[in-house]
Amino acid sequence: MFILFVGLLTLSCLPRSVLGSDDERDARLYRVDITLPPKEGRDETADIMQIKATVEGLTDIKVLFSFKEVGNPKVLLVLDVEKACSWPQLTTFLSRKGYEVKTTPVYYCSDYARELGVNMTRDMYASSLKDDEDLLFGRQIFHVKDLTTAEFDEKMKQMFVREKVILEAGQRGACFRTLASLPVELINFSPISPSRVDAMGEILHGPEIYDVELTRMQNLAHYSQGCQG
């Protein structure tokens, strides 16, 4: 279960010349999914609160976002590992608790959009979301299928053109791309609202073949109760 974590720890401890320059910060962004498996006598609220306290106490790891899935014992983090060999603060705690953990390298959607030729900056997306907001987590997987690379890239480009217009109109949200070639996987977080649902329907006219998974989340900083309405 922690083989991937060991690999990341090894990578983070390599010399800077191997990892790349300080400008290549996207290589140190990670999505971390933590699931609390069923266990007799488990106090889910206490465990989630302990994860929250541990995350808040990390050094040399910047927590960009931290969420709790509503109705399920799952935590999702987006981390910027700012200093080499800083993983053990988190991994030692998680392994000792016996949680199920999946770690995925990611990078900013705005960087991906620029690769496609869309002039987007990182500050167009939200760097934080309010603690007390109802949040929507979206996972989108776009398949190439019968499209050529050029056709696929053009459809993704036009999707980000529409996204840019919506963001410039005031819609808030955060977006990251999984660091893998294909299929293209995007994850995004935004406040739940009728306008956001409508916006997602408008944006998702990218490549015709795609999967969408939506989950209600709450900001981990706001988590305090075991039972959520």
Going along the chain from its start, the domains and CATH numbers come out as: 3-107 (3.30.70.100), 110-219 (3.30.70.1060)
Structure tokens at 156: 């993704």
Q: State what percent of residues in the chain have pLDDT above 70.
A: 76
Given a cut of 50, whether residue 106 has pLDDT beyond it is: yes
Average pLDDT on 64-83 reads 91
Question: Quick one: the chain helix, strand, coil %, rounded to 5?
Answer: 35, 30, 35
Average pLDDT on 56-77 reads 92
Q: What's the rounded Cα separation, in Å, for the pair 198 and 104? A: 29
Given a cut of 70, whether residue 153 has pLDDT beyond it is: yes
Cα angle value 61/65/70 (rounded, 5°): 135
Structure tokens at 63: 């927590």
Check: pTM over 0.85? Answer yes or no: no
Structure tokens at 79: 């981390």
> Hey, how many other C-beta atoms are within 10 angstroms of the C-beta on 75?
24
Q: Which amino acid is at 94?
A: L
